[in-house]
Amino acid sequence: MTGVEHISRSGKPAVVAHRGASAELPEHTLAAYELALDQGADGLECDVRLTSDHELVCIHDRTIDRTSNSAGVVSEMTLAELRELDFGSWHESGKKSSVLTLRELLTLTLDWRRPVRLFVETKHPVRYGSLVEQKLLGLLHEFGVGMPPSADHSRAVVISFSSAGVWRIRRHAPMLPTILLGDTARLLGGSAATAVGATGIGPSVETLRLYPDLVDRAAAAGRVTYCWTVDELVDVQLCADLGVRWVATNRPAKVRDWLVTVD
């Protein structure tokens, strides 16, 4: 499914499942993303890294120590080696899971029964540098979502803390929406996002509490705001009041329920 349907929640923030429904199931696993979709998430968020054989896998950390039953550096391991490991039993749910590739997550997202947007975060600094964005764009083009008719109708969004990473995407795929992430108002206040052509800014919820004017400043420049990681009712209310477009959360079902009640 690669249509151009709008994904919207009638003026309230849309809900992005941060690494899937990661409060309930192991992050970056197929089960966590399937649960988030069943719970009605409007979008899914993942982090991607390259293996030593240049496959994109959904892993947040530089190493697999925290989220697997083994240890090692992602960029020094092949996909086949990662396939042999358990990426789920560390979680309190105890659910065994294999490593998830971006190809598998894209397939799930685009084949889902309703339109869902995938937010892909490229990690930097990394061993392979710009190859991460090159491989990502190649995969998005393969799935037919690398050249959307407009940012509003795109099924994929590339997000990164790296200004250079965002710029690489904008240069090679100008219609693909991009979000410059950051945890300081100085980075997100305008100049950096303008310089790289980002279509949105991504403050942490802690930054947004300190600098709520970021949302209006971004809107005045034609940019949306994506806020992470929003897991508490008071922060959901704040994002709704300020006009945040997307909220990333580990608890998509709970946040969706809260958004029904907020003004």
29, part of any domain? yes
**254 SS3 class:** helix
Which of 42, 43, 49 lies closest to 63, judged by CA?
49
6, part of any domain? no
**Global pTM value:** 0.95
Per-residue pLDDT, 10: 54
Burial readout 106-142 (b: 16 or more C-beta within 10 A, e: otherwise): bebbbebeebbbbbbbbbeebeeeeebbebbbebbee
How is residue 71 written in tokens? 């240890």
How is residue 189 written in tokens? 């206040």
212, part of any domain? yes
Helices (H), 60-127: 79-83, 102-111
- 63-102 confidence digits (pLDDT tens): 999 999 999 999 999 999 999 999 999 999 988 999 999 9
Per-residue pLDDT, 263: 78
CATH number at residue 149: 3.20.20.190
- Catalytic residue (choose from 54, 60, 124, 153): 60
- Catalytic residue (choose from 18, 54, 124, 172): 18
249, part of any domain? no
Per-residue pLDDT, 6: 40
Per-residue pLDDT, 141: 98
Per-residue pLDDT, 135: 98
Domain around 174: 24-37+49-225
Would you call 18 a catalytic residue per the annotation? yes
151, part of any domain? yes
What's the domain count of the chain? 1
56, part of any domain? yes
172, part of any domain? yes
110, part of any domain? yes
**130 SS3 class:** coil
Per-residue pLDDT, 7: 44
Q: From first to last of its 263 residues, what are the pLDDT tens digits of the chain?
A: 333 344 444 579 999 999 999 999 999 999 999 999 999 999 999 999 999 999 999 999 999 999 999 999 999 999 999 999 999 999 999 889 999 999 999 999 999 999 999 999 999 999 988 999 999 999 999 999 999 998 889 999 999 999 999 999 999 999 999 999 998 877 787 778 989 999 999 999 999 999 999 999 999 999 999 999 999 999 999 999 999 999 999 999 999 999 999 87
Mean pLDDT, the chain, whole residue set: 93
Would you call 124 a catalytic residue per the annotation? no
Which of 174, 172, 169, 177 lies closest to 152, judged by CA?
177
Which of 191, 50, 223 lies closest to 120, judged by CA?
50
